[in-house]
Amino acid sequence: MRILVAIGLAMTALSAQAAAPPPGSRPLTPERAFASPSLTGPAARGVQVSPDGAWVTWLKPEATNQFKLDLWAMPAAGGEPRLLVSGEAVEPTGKAISDEEKARRERQRVGALSGVVDYDWSEDGRRLLIPAGGSLYLAEAATGAVTRLDKAGTGATDGRLSPKSRYASYVRAQNLYVLDLDSGEERAITTAGAGPVSYGVAEFVAQEEMGRYTGYWWAPDDHAIAYARVDETPVEIAQRVEIGAGGVTITPQRYPRAGTPNALVSLFVQSLTPGAPVVKVELGPDTDIYVTRVDWSKDGRTLYVERESRDQTKLDLLAVNPADGSSKVILEERQTPWIEITDDFHPLKDGGFLWGSGRSGYHQLYLYDRNGRLVRQITEGAFPSAGGGGGAGAHAPGLVGVDEAKALVYFMASADTPTERQLYVVSYRHPGEARALTRGHGWWTAVMPKAANVFVGYYSDPDTPPQAALYDLNGQRIRWIEQNPLDETHPFHPYVGRYPEPEFGVLRAADGEDLQYVLLKPVGFDPAKRYPVIIEVYGGPGVQTVQKTWRPASEKLYLEDGYILFQLDNRGSSNRSEKFQAAIAGRLGSVEVDDQLVGIQWLRSEPFVDPNRIGVSGWSYGGYMTLRMLTDPRTKLKAGASGAPPTDWRQYDTHYTERYMGMPQQHEAAYDASAVIPRLNDLRSRLLLLQGMADDNVQIDNSIEVMNRLQALSTPFDLMLYPGQRHGIAGEARQLQLWRTFLQFFDRELKG
C-alpha cells in the first residue's frame, strides 16, 4: 500500500574502505553496559527551583547504584552543589514498600528506582517534603537535617505539602489525611475507604493512560481540599497470578478490560474550617465518564474539572462552585476519532484560562475568557505548538510556564523537524511570532517555577549526554546544574568516537506522509559487506522513538555485535499532526505494519544490508508489533523478540483500547482483525517470547495464549520468563541477563 521514496537527510557517503574503530577505543561489553555508574553519566532528574528562587535541587543516582537516587542542592546565585539527603537514609536498600506504592511507581515508570524518588518544596523555601519507603520526611534546605513525620505512619503514598505549606497531605489505607505541621495534629479527611472504595487516589486507568497520578487537589490558600472517591465495585476482578522466587500468589486485581464497566469516580470538596460539611461536586447525570484533570482557580473560588465522555470524543471543562458543588460547562470540545488529554490548561488571575486543542489539525494553544468564550488562538503552524496527549500515560510537557505580568506563555514545539524540540515564548494577548529561547540540533525539555523568572533546561543530542542548567528568560545560561561533559572522567569516555554517527532520514508513504527514521551502523562498518539488521520497534500511539537525543548504551551492544540498528516512527506516533496520529483508528496493528514495511523495503534496497537477515525486537506495544510483523507474509523477517505483548485488545484496559478501537461490542470485526493469536498460523520466523511473571499491566495471560497456540501448532519458539517482574525488567543483573538473551538469540538466528 505504500510507495517507497527516500527523501530528507542524505545518507552518509560510503567509503570504499572499511571504517576502523578509533585507535585505543574500548569495546563495550554487556557487563559494562548494565553496571554502575551509568554510561549516560550523572544525569539530573526532577530539577526544581525553590519558590523563593534561592535554591536549585535535583535527583542524582548514586555512583555505585544507578537506581538509587539522592537529593542534591545548590544555591541558585552561586556556590558548590552538595548532597542534601541520601536516598539510603530515607529508603534503605531492601526496605519493603507497600503494594500501593509499588503500583504507583510502576504507573509512573519509576518502578526500578528507590531512595528519593520524589520531593516537594515548602512555599518559604526552607524545607522539603520527601515521601520515601511509605513514610514522610521533612528536610531542611540549609542543613539537610531530616525529620520523620511519625504521625503519618507507614504505608503513606502521594505525600505532598499544601500550597502555603501549613500541612502535609497523604493517602494511607485508602483514606486521605492531612497533618498540621505546626501542631503535629493529624486529621482524617475521609474514613470510609475500604474494600473496593478508596479516597484521594487515582484509579488504574487514570494513572496508566491519562497521566493523572493523584486523586486530591489543594486550594491555593490551603483553605480546602478537593478529592476523588473511587468505587471499583463494578470493575471485573482478574485473578492475576504473580509468580516469584518465593512462590505463587493469586492476586485479585480489579482490571477494567475493554468494553467492561469502569470504576465510579466522584469528587468532593472539604473545607478545613472546623465543622464545615463535605460538599459533593455535580459531575452530571452520566456516571460512565472519565475525570481527566482537576485544577483550582488562582483565587480558590472555582474548581475546574475536565470531564471526558466514555467514547473519548467529547471533553467538557466544568466550572464548579466549591461552596455548594454546583457546576456548569464553560467549554465543550468535540473531536473524532478521539480527543486528546493534555496538561495545557492554565487558569489566569482575571478568571480566563489557556487551553490546548488539536481542532486545527495540530495541537495549539488558545486563550479563553472567564466564561469560556474564545478570545484568540495563541500559537499556529503546521506542527504541534504544544504537547498533545497520548497513550500509555505519555503526555508531552507542552505548556511550560506563564508570565501573567507580561502576558507571555512558554511552550515546547518541534517547528523545524519532529526529531528536534525547542522552548519558545509568545504573547498570549497580542499577535506576534513565537521566539525560540533554546538552540541546537537536539532535544530540549524545560520546567519553570511558578514565578516564571527562570527556567531549567534539559538538553541532549546524539553526541551530548543529558545536561541540565539554569537559564534566564533570554535563553542565556546562568549556571550548570549537571553539565555532564564527555571528558576523561565521564563513564562513556572510553567509548567516545567508537560508533558511527546515527543517520536520520525520512521515507515517504504512498499517501504522502513522512516517516522519520534513524539508522545506526556497526563498529568498523565496511560498505563492501552486507550486514544483518535488527529493527527496534514500539509503533504504538503516544510515543515517539526517533529523536535526536543521546542514545542508550544497550543499543550499542548490537553495534558491537555487527548489527545495523533501525528505528522508524510509523503513523500513530506522537509529536505529529492529528491526521498522522489518528490514522490507526479502528485498525491497530495494520497501518503501523504497513509503515514499518516501507522501512523494511528500503533497508533491503541498500547494498550494505543482507536482505535475508533482518530481525525485529519490541516490548509492550512493540512486542505486539513484533508479533504482527512476524506474521505478515510481506515482511519476510527471519526472527523476532517480543516482550510483554498485548495479544487481544479485548484483554487490555478500557481507556487505552476504546480510544483507538471503540467498544468491542460494537466493533467485533475490528477487534478480531487486530488480534495476534489467529495469525500465529502464519508464523514462519523464529520467535523469542519474554514476559514478567507479575505483570499487572499487560498480564501474563496474553503470553500464555501465545504459548498455548504455538504448542498446539507444534511450532518451536524460545521463551524467557522473569519471576517477580512486572511490565519492565528491573535491576542491573536482570537487565544484563535480558540483553545477553537478546544477543544470543539474534546471533543464533541471524548469524547462524
pLDDT digits (tens, 9 = 90+) for 510-554: 788 999 999 999 999 999 999 999 999 999 999 999 999 999 999
Catalytic sites, residue numbers = 620, 695, 727
Instruction: Specify the CATH architecture of the domain 5-10+491-751.
Output: 3-Layer(aba) Sandwich (3.40)
Grouping H, G, I as helix, E, B as strand and the rest as coil, residue 292 is: strand
Q: Give dist(CA 562, CA 164) in Å, integer.
A: 58
Q: Give dist(CA 600, CA 594) in Å, integer.
A: 10
- Mean pLDDT confidence for 134-142: 94
- What cell does 365 get? 494553544
Q: At what angle do helices 621-630 and 591-605 cross, to 10 degrees?
A: 60
Question: What is the chain's mean pLDDT, rounded?
Answer: 93
Percent of the chain with pLDDT over 90: 86
How do 639-643 and 609-619 pair as beta strands? parallel
Residues 6+ apart with CB under 8 A from 484: 41, 42, 43, 465, 466, 467, 468, 490
pLDDT digits (tens, 9 = 90+) for 469-514: 999 999 999 999 999 999 999 999 999 999 999 999 999 987 889 9
CB-based contact 284:271 (threshold 8 Å):
no
Q: Give dist(CA 21, CA 524) in Å, integer.
A: 5
Instruction: Please check the confidence at residue 390 and state whether its pLDDT lies above 50.
Output: no
Q: Which CATH number fits domain 340-482: 2.120.10.30, 2.60.40.10, 2.30.30.30, 3.40.50.300?
A: 2.120.10.30
Instruction: Please check the confidence at residue 277 and state whether its pLDDT lies above 50.
Output: yes
pLDDT at 17: 38
Paired with 468 in beta bridges are 458, 482
> Which parts of 83-233 fold into alpha helices (H)?
87-90, 99-107, 204-208
pLDDT digits (tens, 9 = 90+) for 667-726: 999 999 999 999 999 999 999 999 999 999 999 999 999 999 999 999 999 999 999 999
Instruction: Please check the confidence at residue 431 and state whether its pLDDT lies above 80.
Output: yes
Structural domain boundaries in the chain = 5-10+491-751, 340-482
Instruction: Please check the confidence at residue 6 and state whether its pLDDT lies above 50.
Output: no
pLDDT at 274: 92
Residue 10: pLDDT band with limits 50, 70, 90: very low
Instruction: Please check the confidence at residue 454 and state whether its pLDDT lies above 70.
Output: yes
Instruction: Please check the confidence at residue 12 and state whether its pLDDT lies above 80.
Output: no
| Among candidate residues 24, 8, 210, the one with its CA nearest the CA of residue 107 | 210
- Mean pLDDT confidence for 616-625: 98
CB-based contact 283:289 (threshold 8 Å):
yes
pLDDT at 26: 85
Residue 20: pLDDT band with limits 50, 70, 90: low
- Residue type for 120, please? D
- Mean pLDDT confidence for 625-645: 98
Instruction: Please check the confidence at residue 662 and state whether its pLDDT lies above 50.
Output: yes
Q: pTM for this structure?
A: 0.93
pLDDT at 103: 86
